[in-house]
């Protein structure tokens, strides 16, 4: 062990979080309709598999792109050789246009201000390296994506201070909550360099309101700090209210050419909207030229392959395809979301009202033995090991209230979702029956105590009347 670095031997990666432990249990016993029908169903993975057929149809219609050809001629050698880490101009152009299209073309993006990264994970970590020193802090509203403990902290040494949000207002950010988080960082002698939010939220599946976004801009303006808006789920908004990008807020407030304009940064990826996490395509968008320059240099440690860029530049440049894909994907997400909510309701379980994402924020507080995180973990283990469903407990997302869980719905077939809801309902019914029986037994005991008390009282009364002792 003495021959290894402290980073290699430390235990701060976050891999021991229940969020990742659930994945490990799934991998040991994965559900398969034919090969392993009693296995664990993966409901802890936010993947979008609902629109693969649309992508596959495009590939079939465009064999040149899939075969790395241009006008029928192979460009394999061209793509296989070294490419500048600034990225292929054609792909960057197609990507920023797609980002604008997702936002209803209310905002536009400049290709000179975008940096390509190997997924949003790399984008967020790169921004941490660019904006903060080890030991400095970013404020994050809870609940937040469990992977941020790894992505933002592990290699950078940056600290996370939670903005405590609650179910009382649907976990929205308030002025009081964000100021309390800032003061907490001050007490811990941490210099706050910025705020990071996910919009739409992972794990809540909700879009941020204009009031929240304006609150954030006011806050970073007052404190002279940065704001990172992770908008990786921006294309998954399937019902009202619609998605509002932080860039739209800045333009509405005429923030161009101001200091705050350079302190707001956007993270994006094709992992969720197009369902391509394996392609490792992420991006940083910043109006700060120094951030763009530094992030571009850092991107050499995690490039997007030129083959991937070529293929996706052809796909995203097909406007007829992207328009149809965005519309149809939202319809499918809405339908699948409705099926999950309906299945949960049949099991006597409610969830936070949501309008985006690949998951629901599910309220199982009524199933807890007690209002504690220990009871939450007990329930989670039963659901993973007995019910055979891998879901993510709220404590892994740093939720302050025990009993909330993130449940994903877009990474499986409709039949698998039905089976998962059938398993969950049977489990809840068994708990309800047990609680009912316990209640009945307690009721009988109480009734006997009351009867005995009445008998003793009557006997005592009769003794007093007759004079007997």
Structure tokens at 299: 């991107």
DSSP 403: T
Structure tokens at 159: 């600290």
**Distances, alpha carbon 429 to alpha carbons 149, 165, 367, 422, 439, in Å:** 36, 31, 11, 11, 15
H or E element at residue 295: helix 289-298
Query: Is the CB of residue 196 less than 8 Å from the CB of residue 216?
Result: no
Query: Is the CB of residue 409 less than 8 Å from the CB of residue 360?
Result: yes
DSSP SS3 for 275: coil
Nearest CA to 232 out of 221, 243, 223, 218 is that of 243
d(CA 303, CA 281): 9
Query: Is the CB of residue 19 less than 8 Å from the CB of residue 42?
Result: no
Active site positions, annotated? 145, 230, 232, 272
Q: Could you tell me which residues come within 8 angstroms of residue 364 by beta carbon, excluding any fewer than 6 positions away?
A: 349, 379, 403, 404, 405
Task: Label residue 303 left, alpha or beta by phi (over 0 means left) and psi (-120 to 50 means alpha).
Answer: beta
């Amino acid at each position: 062990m003495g021959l290894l670095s402290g980073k290699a031997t430390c235990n701060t990666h976050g891999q021991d979080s229940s969020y990742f432990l659930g994945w490990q249990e799934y991998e040991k016993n994965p559900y398969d309709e034919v090969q392993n029908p009693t296995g664990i169903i993966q409901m802890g993975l936010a993947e979008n598999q609902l629109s693969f057929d649309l992508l596959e149809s495009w590939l079939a219609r465009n064999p040149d792109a899939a075969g790395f050809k241009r006008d029928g001629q192979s460009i394999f050698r061209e793509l296989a050789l070294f490419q500048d880490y600034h990225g292929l101009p054609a792909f960057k152009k197609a990507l920023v246009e797609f980002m604008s299209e997702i936002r209803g073309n209310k905002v536009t993006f400049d290709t000179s201000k975008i940096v390509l990264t190997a997924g949003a994970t790399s984008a967020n970590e790169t921004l941490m390296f660019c904006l903060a020193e080890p030991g400095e802090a970013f404020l994050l509203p809870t609940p937040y994506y469990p992977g941020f403990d790894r992505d933002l902290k592990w290699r950078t040494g940056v600290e996370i201070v939670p903005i405590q949000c609650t179910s009382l207002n649907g976990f929205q950010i308030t002025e009081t909550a964000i100021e309390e988080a800032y003061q907490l960082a001050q007490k811990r002698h941490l210099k706050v360099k910025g705020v990071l939010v996910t919009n739409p939220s992972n794990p809540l599946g909700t879009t941020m309101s204009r009031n929240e976004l304006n609150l954030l801009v006011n806050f970073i303006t007052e404190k002279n700090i940065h704001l990172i808006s992770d908008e990786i789920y921006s294309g998954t908004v399937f019902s009202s209210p619609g998605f509002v990008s932080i860039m739209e807020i800045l333009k509405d407030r005429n923030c161009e050419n101001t200091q705050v304009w350079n302190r707001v940064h956007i993270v994006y990826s094709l992992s969720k909207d197009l369902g391509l996490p394996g392609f490792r395509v992420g991006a940083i968008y910043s109006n700060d030229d120094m951030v763009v320059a530094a992030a571009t240099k850092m991107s050499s440690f995690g490039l997007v392959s030129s083959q991937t860029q070529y293929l996706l530049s052809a796909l995203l440049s097909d406007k007829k395809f992207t328009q149809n894909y965005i519309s149809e994907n939202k319809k499918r997400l809405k339908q699948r979301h409705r099926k999950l909510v309906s299945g949960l309701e049949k099991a006597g379980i409610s969830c936070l009202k949501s309008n985006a994402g690949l998951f629901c924020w599910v309220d199982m507080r009524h199933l807890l033995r007690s209002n504690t995180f220990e009871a939450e973990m007990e329930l989670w283990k039963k659901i993973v090991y007995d019910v055979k469903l891998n879901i993510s407990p709220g404590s892994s997302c740093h939720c302050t209230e025990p009993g909330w869980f993130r449940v994903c719905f877009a990474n499986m077939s409709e039949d698998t979702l039905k089976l998962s809801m059938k398993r969950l309902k049977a489990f809840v019914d068994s708990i309800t029956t047990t609680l009912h029986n316990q209640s009945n037994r307690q009721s009988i005991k109480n009734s006997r105590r009351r009867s005995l008390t009445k008998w003793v009282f009557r006997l005592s009364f009769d003794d007093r009347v007759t004079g007997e002792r």
